[in-house]
Amino acid sequence: MDQKNLTQVSEFLLLGLSEDPKEQQLLFILFLSMYLVTGLGNLLIILAIITDARLHSPMYFFLANLAFVDICFTTTTVPKMLVNHATGHREISYAGCLTQTFFFIFFASLDSILLATMAYDRYEAICHPLHYTTSMTPQLCSILVGASWTAAFGNALTHTVSLTYLSFCTHNKVPHFFCDLNALLKLACSDAFLNYTLLNTVGVIPLFFPFMGILVSYMLIFIAVLRIPSRTGKQKAFSTCGSHLSVVTLFYGTPIGVYFSPTSSHTPHTDTVATVMYTVVTPMMNPFIYSIRNKDMKAALRALLNWKPAFTR
């Protein structure tokens, strides 16, 4: 039988975060504000890194890529949700739903892999400082970023293509504010064994292995820092990792807390809250985290915004 003919649903309904009109208005204002802050904050980070020569280093090269991905990540889900709240229409076409699923998986995977790449960069800078400039060359940085994009693309394409072989008959209400892969699999009226197998095998790779890489990198970093004789040296080493660790905690903390909790405690509400945390809140917080404790970044942002005070005699 032709698998393409199995699909009978032409559109899905995104139920969103609330059905109360008053709550929808508040959510619209809240998420619009968060989306604008996310876009502006990450754009300023990118422009500051491009325009300031002091920030032309591997660490900030990876950070600029992460900021760009964060803008794309929120753009995948939030604008559609805002339109739904503003118009009251919750429909999304079948093709639009699969497209949204693809880009959500793509940018989520890319975020995770880039965070691991940044951890590796910190490992090289702290554990092998004398060879850092020769090991973390611009060519290697470009290869690492290119490999990250390629791996994330392959993961997203695998899950999206497998979705096209499922049949969606009468159930088309997605209990989420975007086309979440898990939610779509639960709506399928054909056998989704292959999809769940891919989700639990291929889908784990861009999340589990980068997370393990981050843990190993920071274990080695911690051991190396303990060997530094001076207290000032230890503080300087830890300060270069503090921002990245904060972002890693935000990105992985909530999903791990929800998805590794007992299955009986899973509800659509808790899963939605977890998704909001790492798809909206974390990308919004990243520019603040990376600029508050970073003197070079703050100086670059002041120069970019023309806030740099004039020197006085």
Please report, rounded to a whole number, the percentage of residues in the chain having pLDDT higher than 70: 89
Contact predicate 251/107, CB 8 Å: no
The reported pLDDT for the residue numbered 311 is 42
Contact predicate 117/48, CB 8 Å: no
The reported pLDDT for the residue numbered 300 is 87
| Range of weakest confidence among 20-24, 58-62, 67-71, 180-184 | 20-24
Contact predicate 148/242, CB 8 Å: no
pLDDT of 29 above 60: yes
pLDDT of 267 above 70: no
Contact predicate 286/66, CB 8 Å: yes
Q: How many CA atoms lie within 13 Å of 165's alpha carbon, on the beta-carbon side?
A: 11
Please report, rounded to a whole number, the percentage of residues in the chain having pLDDT higher than 90: 53
Contact predicate 279/255, CB 8 Å: no
Single-letter code of the amino acid located at 267: T
The reported pLDDT for the residue numbered 118 is 95
Single-letter code of the amino acid located at 32: L
Highest-confidence range of 31-40, 204-213, 294-303, by mean pLDDT?
31-40
pLDDT of 239 above 80: no
| Cα 55 from Cα 264, distance rounded (Å) | 48
The reported pLDDT for the residue numbered 117 is 97
Confidence of residue 159 (pLDDT cuts 50, 70, 90): very high
Point out which residues pair with 11 in neighbouring strands. 93
The structural domains of the chain, with segments of one domain joined by +, span 3-304
User: Using one digit for the tens of pLDDT, what is the confidence trace for 186-228?
Assistant: 999 989 999 999 988 988 899 899 999 999 999 999 998 888 8
Closest CA to 17 of 76, 81, 74, 75: 81
pLDDT of 14 above 80: yes
Closest CA to 166 of 90, 91, 94: 94
| Range of weakest confidence among 81-95, 111-125, 136-150, 219-233 | 219-233
**How far from 86 is each of 24, 123, 128, 187, CA to CA, in Å?**
8, 46, 53, 26
Q: Full-prediction pTM beyond 0.85?
A: yes
Question: Residue 66 belongs to what H/E stretch?
Answer: helix 58-87
Task: Centre a 10 Å sphere on the Cβ of residue 139 and count the other Cβ atoms it contains.
Answer: 8
Task: Centre a 10 Å sphere on the Cβ of residue 311 and count the other Cβ atoms it contains.
Answer: 5
User: Using one digit for the tens of pLDDT, what is the confidence trace for 93-123?
Assistant: 999 999 999 999 999 999 999 999 999 999 9
- Tell me the average pLDDT across 304-312: 58
pLDDT of 79 above 80: yes
| Cα 12 from Cα 130, distance rounded (Å) | 56
- Tell me the average pLDDT across 10-29: 87
Confidence of residue 275 (pLDDT cuts 50, 70, 90): confident
pLDDT of 262 above 60: no
DSSP 151-193: HHHHHHHHHHHHHTTS---S--EESSSS--HHHHHHH-SS--H
Question: Residue 211 belongs to what H/E stretch?
Answer: helix 205-226
- Tell me the average pLDDT across 50-75: 94
| Range of weakest confidence among 73-87, 121-135, 226-240 | 226-240
pLDDT of 62 above 90: yes
pLDDT of 57 above 50: yes
Confidence of residue 310 (pLDDT cuts 50, 70, 90): very low
- Domain spanning 3-304, CATH class: mainly alpha
The reported pLDDT for the residue numbered 70 is 96
**How far from 13 is each of 10, 91, 95, 176, CA to CA, in Å?**
11, 5, 13, 9
Single-letter code of the amino acid located at 237: A
Query: How many residues in total does the chain contain?
Result: 313
Confidence of residue 269 (pLDDT cuts 50, 70, 90): low
